Each structure stands twice: as C-alpha cells, then as structure tokens.
Chains A and B, each alone.
Chain A
C-alpha cells in the first residue's frame, strides 16, 4: 500500500478539513500546487454541496419536521457541518469558520431580541431561502471568504444579525451607544492600543442611524429585518479621531446633513480598513490559523502579507495566497503545530473514519461539550484558541466523541479492517497512515500496540477486529497526537 504524501496531507488538513480516502486520491493525482490553486480559486469549483443533503452516500441530518436550515438554528448547524464534511471548496468553508470567529456573533442574543425564526434567518439563511432575498451572516462570510475586507466591513456594519448583536439598532442620535463603535476598532480591525476612548465615543456617533427596519408584521412568518439608514437618527456634527480618516491625513469627519450622514460610517470603515495595524493584525491571525501556533508570527512574512493586502485593495485572497504559498506553510517543522478547533476535529474524524449512517445532529451536543457550539461564540472576541481549547472537560468531550463515532461506525470499520490485521503492527500502520495524526514517540506507539494485544492472543479474526479496531481508533482520535493539524 502506498503511503500518503506528507506535504499533501498537511495541505488538506491545514487549508481544508482533512480528506476522505477518495479525496486524497483525487488531489494526489493533481499535485500540491494545483490543489492549492484550486483551494484559493474556489469559484472554479461548483458550489453544489447543499444539493447533496438528504441524498444517499452522504452524512445525514436529523430534525423535528422538515429540514429547514434557514429557520431552525440546529438545522443551520447541521448544514454548516455537512458543508465542511462534503463541500468541494474546503478553503472557502475554512475561511467562513475563520470569519465566524473574527466577527463572532451569537445566535442566542440575536434570537433573544427577535425570535427563533428571525434569528436563524439573520444568522444563516441563503438568499434563495429568504423572503426578502437577503442573506444571513454565514452566507456573507462565505461570499467574502477570500474577498475584499473593506467591502466586507461595510456589509458587516449593515448586517442585521450584527446590528442586533452589538446593539446598533438601538443606537440613537441624542445618546449614542458604543458597543459596535468600540468593537469594530478593538476586535474587527486595528486592535487594542491603536485607538483612544474618545475615538470610541466618536465612532458611536458615526454609526448613529445605521439601523434595521421590519418588513411585514411582527408575527408575519414572511416578515423580516433589513438594514435601513435612518437620517433622522444620525448625529450630524463633526467627529474627530486620533488617527487619520482621510488620505490627506485629516482626522476629522466633517459635519454633514443627516441625509448624507451615512457617509460618516463609510469614511470610518475606509480608514479602519486602510489603517496599517488592520492589515498586520489580520495577517497575524491568518498566520496563526494557517502556519503555526507554536511559533510567534514571523514578522517578515506578516509584513509581506499585510503589504499584499494594502497593495491589492484590501484583498484577503492576496494575504492568504501569500501565506499558503510560503515556505513556512509547507515546512515540516510547522506540521501539526495548530490546535484543532472542535469543529475541525469532528470533521477530520468523520472524513478519516467514515460517515455512513452518521447524522450531523449527533455531533451537535459533543461540540457544545468540546467548547464550540457553532453560531454561539462565548463573546464578541470569539473563542479562546490554541491551548485554551484543551481543558479537562473539553478533552474528555473529544475522547467521548471518538467513542461515539467509532461505536456508530463499528460495522464499517470492521468490514474495512477485515484481513488487514495479520499482526497488530499491520493494523496500526494502516490506521496511522489513514488518520494522519502527528507521529507517536516510541512509548505511546508501544502503548497502542499493547492495547491491541491486551486481553488475549492476537488472531486478527473478525470478532477480534470488531472490538479492537473501533477501540484502537478511539484511542488514536482521543490522543494528543490527533488534536493537531
């Protein structure tokens, strides 16, 4: 059996969610560079994944009544996981997850301030599913996955879910309210240290009037919320900042008539997108996402990625391309240095162990226990990444998901492993190649073998494989070596 190419497996893990055996064969036939090109230029691949939901050969979904991901949040969660598992545009889906963490918005508050139907629509509806042909926040992240960051910020500032989440829709002229004005600087763009408290107060005034309107009655199932600039709610006086707003260096947004006041926000967003710290901060976050969490971001590469962002009209694609085609990205020393997010861990295990007969619904509660409920980040700063994912409770939840999955897949696993375990070493070797965990040191490797031998003589017969193969996969997926990509 030919062993998988380590570089290719790294690309598939890091820029995607791992790969099923047939996907590995497919990408291997095309080679590294073509694979990365296709990942970045994902629009060349049909976006047909949603049409596979509910069809044979794919993972299933479970819902109360008809599957309705645009109106029921658990169905939206299942659809998103399904896309990660089966989608043919892995990098787009990966960046969608990145943006969900960057512009972290929680369904519970959005729905709590409206209702479950409107909340789900605002988080996850596709245009074709929305009564007003608007798209939910997740679709916005997909559209701008590798898009223009300045335009994305404008869409985020107008996004109904964000306007509820950070209270923009209650911002008023007389007494501006600072939630969105603060976080757009602290978390979405430059970061702490590059703005002042008076900047926050000014930003709150800038976004007065950026609001929502209800189309249709409050109890109308086809009613919905959409963005509306309300001139009468805009505070029209000049706003002064501590950093340049305009290319000529001016730090003041001029007084404008309320009717023209929406331009205030567009001017501030331009300034924030252009601010040198925004590109650098995004580049550092992307570096940690794609290259390494165990080394500090490389100043040189971060600088080049930030420059690519500035020179290409705030293009995220330019930044990501710079990182993915860097030597650092492929360097073997950087393999397995990124702590998997729970969603990544779950999808990788499903791809590598199997999904036949598995319902995405089965993964939802384990994901909560692992600390990552989709559409429910803990706060606007997103999840605490890296080693912070690994509390005892969360690690047990990962091990227990491995138990649930290997139990669920026992028949497939047993059939697949039949005759492949003449010796414990042969069985282990096959799985270590297929699952692509980080290398085990001698001691842990010996423990895995000893587990296979424990409890009696190794025969490799069907009955033994039916117990030991799921047990071994449980141990591998629950080991530290498997928690990294």
Chain B
C-alpha cells in the first residue's frame, strides 16, 4: 500500500462520514438516484489477457510462426468478419455466446487498446488502468472519481463491488463502495436471538456512528461499518433473486454476474458494478485449445452469455453497459513454456442493448521484420496500442454515465474514441 493511497483515505474519511446519507432517506435516495436507470458493469480479466488468443487475426501469416503451439487454426476460430483494414478476425472457439451477441449487433470489440510506455508490471499496470493516469497512478480511481461527482448525500449502494476488497478503480474520496461478494452471506449475525439480536444490531450501528476524535483510521472503519449497516436490507432482497436463466454453480464469475442481475432486477439503484475473474497470467501451459486459456474463455463465455440472456429476458439490456478490460496484453512470441509473458496493448469489449456492435480498430501486423511496423513495439515483441484506453473511458463517462469525462479523467481524451455508444 502506498503512502499516497493511505493519505487519500485519511483525507477522505471525514467528508465520507459526514456526507453519508442517513438510512431513513435511503429508499427515496435510491429511487431518486436510481431513476437514471443506466448502469455500468465493469469486468476485469486479472493477470494480463492474451488478446491474440481471444480476438484472433487468424490469417496473419506471422501468427502461425510466432505461436507454433498456441495458435488456433483458421478452421477452428469463430470467424466474425474483417476489421476496417481488411484483417480477418475470429473469436476463440469457446466464445460461442459472444459470437451470438456480436451477430445481434451488441458486442463491440476494440482492438489494440492501451497507452504509451505500457507497464509490464501487473500492479503498476492495474493501477494505471484504475486511475486512468499513466504518469501518477495513485489516488482515487476513475470510477471513484465519477462516483464523487454524484451530489451528496450519496446512496451507499451507488456502486457494488462483487469482490472481497475494494478495487483501486472504485476507490473514491467521498463515497465508500460496499464489497458484496455474496448477497446470501452479507448479513449481520448475533450470538443471541429475538429482541436481544435486534438490540445488538441497533447498538453496533450506534457504536460505529461516531467519528473517533483524532483517529481517522478508526473513523474509516466506522464509515465502512455504517455502509454495511445501511446496505444490509436491500442486499438481502437481492439474495432471494430467481434468475430467468441458469448460471453455472461452479463458475464464480457467473455467480457474481447472477448477483448483479439480481440487483438490476430488484431495481435497487446501483449505477456501477465491479466483477472480476482471474487466471489470465498465462506464463505456462496456456494450451489455447485444451488448457488453461480454453478454460478461461469457457468461464467468460458462460458467465457473460447467461447474464446477457437474463437481462434480455427482463428488458434490462438497454439500461446496461458491460465494459471489459485487462491490465496488459501478452508477448506475441510464445515462450518455451507453452505460455506467453507480459506484453503491451490488449483488447477491450463493450456489450449492451445500446452498444453499436462492430470490430473497432485494426489488428496488429505481427511481422517483426519491419522495424518501423507501427503496430508493434519493444523491438517487434509486443503489440502497440492504437486506441488510448482513456478515450474509451471518456466515451463511457460522457455518453453513458452522463458525466464530464474531461473533469473526471483530468484531460480531454474524447478525440479518437471508438463510437461504441
């Protein structure tokens, strides 16, 4: 944990505690703030996604040479057409649901997204994607900064993180984001029962309502407890959600999306959701067609397609935007471990009822022979970005969330943004 991040937590505590809405107003607030209705579901593929195995320029003659064991033959990719430069593009064979969404015109693939001097560190890279600031990747995240623009008092369920710890992208100055990995266990237990248990919840809520004098670190924990108490009952309503489709029980990613669908279906007013799925750091045994990457794609496809259909069945698709990213792409040349090392640009995806489905950007030319090949960097080893990821964020903030991307991103990244919305 860096000093800067802790400093911001310390600085933010007081305002956070005071700016918090009292539980009595929450339902009104949720209605008022939720009436915007649009929501954003951010999906983070943790570990650095090998975009070349996900969205595949399968006719590139160099692809086969640089991926001798990992390549997916043209006959097996799910061919979806060509990009604007005429490169034939195919999806990983397990992404059948995504192909179906693409064919419905609701999947946007944004090739070669990244930034200049891409970090090859998981942690620095994640911080940069989280803050949208390659120069100084500390402090609140880009989604946190958006949440901070919501007029106070802010609904404590304005955002919902489905992982155990608040991701950097959602860290805000004024707004605490609840971590709700599982709505069913997000409840307050007591050693006693009946009125005694009710008393305990009452007093636990009171005890955490104070701001310990001169001890902002305690005040921060109290604010967390207050957020928990303020969100318990609405989350309980999500725990009883019955989806319209089956979400695989053994797929944690799908289960997280099931909870998100429940929150949307119940209309509890959340605007930003965070869902994460890991295992993308495929240094070895990536075995694109029958090994770890194949499993990753199956997990992704299964969860996303169930979620898409569940929302579609309930007429919620037009209010939902799914945005996927990863902290970096991977090396073009496979290593000797049947895996790939840390690289640069990768793929972003957007899915939703109002998304203009298409293949955005152009595939890299994988031939390193030409040192001036503008689609590669690092001596031809890595894919160079074509679309600045911040321009995608800008598009989402301006055209979907109704925010001001220039203020939130600290700069004007609107030009060159793919017209996905």
Contacts and interface: CB of A to CB of B under 8 A. Distances in A.
Nearest to B334: A175
A456 to B, nearest CB: 10
B363 to A, nearest CB: 24
B187 A396 contact: yes
Interface string B110-135: 00000000001111100000000000
B266 interface: no
B3 A177 contact: no
Q: Decide if the interface of chain B is mainly helix, strand, loop or mixed.
A: loop
Contacts of B215: 438
A396 B191 contact: no
Contacts of A378: 165
Interface in B276-292: 278, 281, 283-285
A187 to B, nearest CB: 8
Contact of A470 (B178, B192, B283): B192
Nearest to A386: B1
A391 B225 CA distance: 9
Contacts of A461: none
B137 to A, nearest CB: 11
Contacts of B419: none
A480 B206 CA distance: 12
B185 interface: yes
B217 to A, nearest CB: 5
A404 B189 CA distance: 8
Nearest to B338: A170
Interface stretch (B138-146, B197-205, B238-246, B317-325): B197-205
Nearest to A451: B203
Contacts of A390: 220-221, 224
A484 B378 CA distance: 46
Contacts of B278: 379
A479 to B, nearest CB: 5
A23 interface: no
A399 B3 CA distance: 28
Interface stretch (A70-78, A178-186, A305-313): A178-186
A446 to B, nearest CB: 9
Contacts of B217: 293-294, 337, 339, 387, 484
B354 interface: no
A449 to B, nearest CB: 10
Contacts of A296: 3
B339 interface: yes
B200 A471 contact: yes
B85 interface: no
Contacts of A447: 203, 206-207, 210
Interface string A160-187: 0000001100111111111100100010
Contacts of A395: 221, 224-225, 228
B188 A400 contact: yes
Of listed A393, A441, A447, A479, residue having the most chain B CB within 10 A: A393
Given A391-B164, A396-B186, A475 B122 contact: no
Contacts of B285: 113, 170
A390 B164 CA distance: 9
B86 interface: no
Report the contact-size class of chain B (Cβ under 8 Å from the partner). 35 or more
Of listed B122, B206, B221, residue having the most chain A CB within 10 A: B221
A387 B6 contact: yes
A416 to B, nearest CB: 15
Interface string A459-485: 000000001001100110011110110
Contacts of B227: 392
B181 A393 contact: yes
A186 to B, nearest CB: 6
Contacts of B378: 197
Interface string B61-82: 0000000000000000000000
Contacts of B210: 441, 443-444, 447
Contacts of A371: 164-165
A410 B191 contact: yes
Contacts of B165: 371, 378, 384, 388-389, 391, 394
B166 interface: yes
A294 B206 CA distance: 25
B46 to A, nearest CB: 8
Contacts of A385: 1
A296 B178 CA distance: 27
Interface string A2-35: 0000000000000000000000000000000000
A10 to B, nearest CB: 16
B192 A471 contact: yes
B195 interface: yes
A217 interface: no
B191 A474 contact: yes
B313 interface: no
A148 interface: no
A178 B283 CA distance: 8
Contact of A381 (B122, B176, B216): B122
Nearest to A387: B9
A410 to B, nearest CB: 7
Contact of B207 (A173, A380, A381, A448): A448
Given A387-B6, A391-B179, A444 B195 contact: no
25 contacts: A166-B283, A171-B336, A175-B337, A176-B336, A177-B336, A379-B47, A387-B6, A387-B220, A387-B221, A388-B1, A391-B178, A392-B178, A392-B179, A392-B225, A394-B165, A394-B179, A406-B191, A410-B191, A441-B212, A447-B210, A448-B207, A471-B192, A471-B199, A475-B204, A479-B204
- What 3 pairs across the A-B complex have the smallest Cβ distances? A172-B336, A391-B179, A170-B337
Given A177-B335, A392-B180, A454-B203, 12 more contacts: A174-B336, A192-B123, A288-B1, A294-B217, A379-B47, A390-B221, A391-B179, A393-B228, A438-B218, A441-B212, A451-B203, A484-B218
